[in-house]
Every structure is written in C-alpha cells, then in structure tokens.
C-alpha cells in the first residue's frame, strides 16, 4: 500500500470542496516514548487512510500531535483504532466547534525531531511535572481572581489578534520557541501569583507549564484541552464564555468562532474583520486579515502589486518569481498591515 499521497494537491482540494460527505474535524496529542517513529508513522498511515482520515500529523520520539478530519460515520471506528495503541488509549479527541468538514483535503504524517518546535533541552527538566489542569469551570473561577492571577496566551500574535481570553497577556511573538524566554521575562514581577496558561488544544501548555515550573514558578496552571475543549464545555454546561472572538486553527478553515465579537481589523482598510486568508499570489502567500470588500477590490491579494502579478501569463510569473519581492518575502505571518494610522489604505 502507498504510504504517501500521490495525487495533485489542487485536485484533492477541489474534490474536498465539492464533496457533500459529512466529516468531523478534531485534534489530539500525546507525549510518549516512541522507540521507532518511522515504523509507527507507516503503521498509522495505513490504518488511518483506510478510514478516510485527512489531516496533518507529526510523530517524534516524544509523542504525536495531530489535527485531522474524517467521515462522521467512521468516528467510532477511529476511536477504536486509536485506543488499540497503548499510549493513546483514552486520549481526548478535541472535536471542532465551528466545523464545515472542509478542514483538510489529504493525509500527511511526518516524522519530526519534536511534535512542537520549542527549542528546549528536554533532558534538562522533567516534562511530566506540568501545571495543574483546569476545566472550563475551574478556569473561570480562578481567573475571576484578577488581583492574584495572570492569564498568559501561549500562542502566536496572529492567533491572539483574532481571539483571546478576557484580560489575557498576549505576547507579540511569531513562534512558540520565541515566546518562552519572552513570557518568562514578562512573568518575573508576578512570581507569587497564579500563572494560568492557555493555547489552542493544550499541547504547547503541556511543555510550557513544565518548563516554567522548572524555572521556579510554583503556581502554574493550564487550561485542559485548550480553547477547543473550553468552548465545548462552555456550550455543554451553559458556563460564562470568557473568550472573545475567533479561535485561529491551522487548517483550511483558518478559524472557528467562539463568540460573536469581532476584535480584529482588516489589515487593508481597518474595518472590523477577523477573516484570515493567504494572498492569492502564490509567490507571496502571506497570511493576513482581509474583509470581503478588500478581497473583491484586490482579487484576494494583499496588494495591487500581487493582484497585477496574478494576471500575468504563467510563464512570465515563473520568470519573475526569481527576482520579485512581495509582502510574503518581507514580512512574517500576520505582520503585514496595509492601512496607516489615518485609516487610508496603503498598498505596496
């Protein structure tokens, strides 16, 4: 059996968008000792592809991290297959809240050095001594004590820009690796307080909470299951929702709505908007926030330069890609802003 996708990605994406199959999007992770990651990767690729699983899964010696979708009718079969793996038995599957089933269009399982790039020397501290897990209800109760509690968003700036918890500290960082020393410095004046961390599904906080406990912080907590599980519990139990806006997700959806509030702005005109897109010019492909009006005006591109470029013949585009510089070349994810302080659109 083939253990890699051999079909053109654009064709697979087209099939997914045209399909009316009911699919479920979910995420999961588990830290474990995997002796032979490549062998394990090949085994689950065969088993999971037979169940119609699409998604992005990372396997490393330290465990597994996955974001997937699968046919709704195969969900229980998938649970059984996962439970058959000793270290995955009973692992929580974080079911997406705002889901149209169009999150992934192919299955990709990669062997990595780590399941989350953190830049840490795991041998230097005990990664099992993590922070106290908080349910949605416990999270709400602890964070009500604003005087003695600091809420830290362990995600990247482009994630927190469209949604975050009330009163959360949101570091201006591009990567999880970059955030760890920055967050540590930010927390120094609050060492005696409750440190409550959260991320999308919980995996970044598993490592971060253990690291900060190693660094001497004692009252360390983490939101169990992250924003995804919090949203599920809030809806199921009728709890107060302290999350504002949209939860950024790393799949075709780009986000799932947790509250109706829109806290971000279109990067081109400055109007309220929290829709992330990638520039339609594949030579640029920068991630940014764009409203429908600007998308129509600029052919779903980040600038007039990119819009004009997409109208060139393909051969001319290929030739110019070697020398042309676009916003995606110059800026990181979500860093590009086309509007200035006066609200006038500035297009490069």
Which tokens sit at 205? 């906080």
Reduce the secondary structure of 115-153 to three states and give it as a string.
CCCCCCCHHHCCCCCCCEEECHHHHHHHHCCHHHEEEEE
CATH 3.40.250.10 domain range(s) in the chain: 122-237
Confidence (pLDDT) at 3: 65
Confidence (pLDDT) at 62: 92
Please check the confidence at residue 189 and state whether its pLDDT lies above 80: yes
Q: Which CATH architecture has domain 122-237?
A: 3-Layer(aba) Sandwich (3.40)
Q: What percent of the chain has pLDDT over 90?
A: 82
pLDDT, average across residues 289-294: 96
Question: Hey, which CATH number is domain 9-111, 3.30.870.10, 3.30.9.10, 3.30.70.100, 3.90.550.10?
Answer: 3.30.70.100
Confidence (pLDDT) at 4: 62
Confidence (pLDDT) at 343: 45
pLDDT tens per residue, range 50-83: 999 999 999 999 999 999 999 999 999 999 999 9
What are the residue numbers of the active site? 199
pLDDT tens per residue, range 11-64: 767 777 777 789 999 999 999 999 999 999 999 999 999 999 999 999 999 999
The per-residue pLDDT of the chain, averaged, comes to 92
Strands (E), the chain: 23-31, 54-60, 63-71, 94-95, 107-111, 132-134, 149-153, 163-165, 194-198, 220-223, 243-248, 255-257, 276-278, 287-289
CATH 3.30.70.100 domain range(s) in the chain: 9-111
pLDDT, average across residues 193-218: 95
């Amino acid at each position: 059996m083939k253990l890699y996708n051999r079909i053109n990605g654009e064709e697979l994406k087209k099939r997914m968008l045209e399909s009316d199959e009911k699919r479920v999007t979910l995420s999961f992770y588990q830290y474990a000792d995997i002796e032979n990651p490549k062998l394990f990767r090949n085994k689950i690729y065969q088993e999971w592809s037979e169940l119609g699983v699409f998604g992005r899964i990372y396997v490393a010696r330290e465990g597994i991290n996955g974001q997937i979708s699968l046919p709704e009718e195969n969900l229980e079969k998938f649970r059984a297959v996962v439970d058959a793996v000793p270290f995955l038995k009973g692992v929580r599957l974080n079911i997406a809240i705002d889901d149209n089933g169009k999150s992934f269009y192919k299955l990709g399982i990669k062997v990595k050095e780590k399941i989350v790039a953190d830049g840490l020397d795991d041998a230097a501290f005990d990664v099992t001594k993590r922070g106290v897990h908080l349910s949605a209800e416990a999270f709400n109760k602890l964070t009500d004590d604003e005087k003695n509690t600091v809420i830290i968003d362990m995600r990247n700036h482009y994630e927190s820009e469209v949604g975050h918890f009330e009163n959360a500290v949101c570091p201006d960082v591009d990567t999880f690796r970059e955030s760890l020393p920055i967050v540590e410095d930010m927390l120094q004046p609050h060492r005696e307080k409750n440190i409550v961390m959260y991320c999308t599904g919980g995996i970044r906080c598993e490592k971060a909470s253990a690291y900060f406990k190693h660094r001497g912080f004692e009252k360390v907590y983490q939101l169990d299951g992250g924003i995804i599980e919090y949203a599920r519990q809030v809806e199921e139990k009728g709890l107060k929702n302290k999350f504002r806006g949209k939860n950024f997700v790393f799949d075709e959806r780009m986000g799932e709505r947790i509250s109706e509030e829109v806290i971000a702005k279109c990067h081109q005109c400055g109007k309220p908007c929290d829709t992330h897109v990638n520039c339609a010019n594949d030579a640029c492909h920068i991630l940014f926030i764009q409203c429908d009006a600007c998308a129509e005006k600029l052919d779903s591109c980040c600038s007039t330069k990119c819009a004009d470029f997409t109208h060139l013949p393909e051969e001319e585009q290929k030739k110019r890609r070697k020398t042309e510089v676009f916003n995606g070349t110059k800026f990181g994810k979500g860093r590009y802003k086309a509007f200035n302080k006066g609200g006038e659109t500035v297009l490069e």
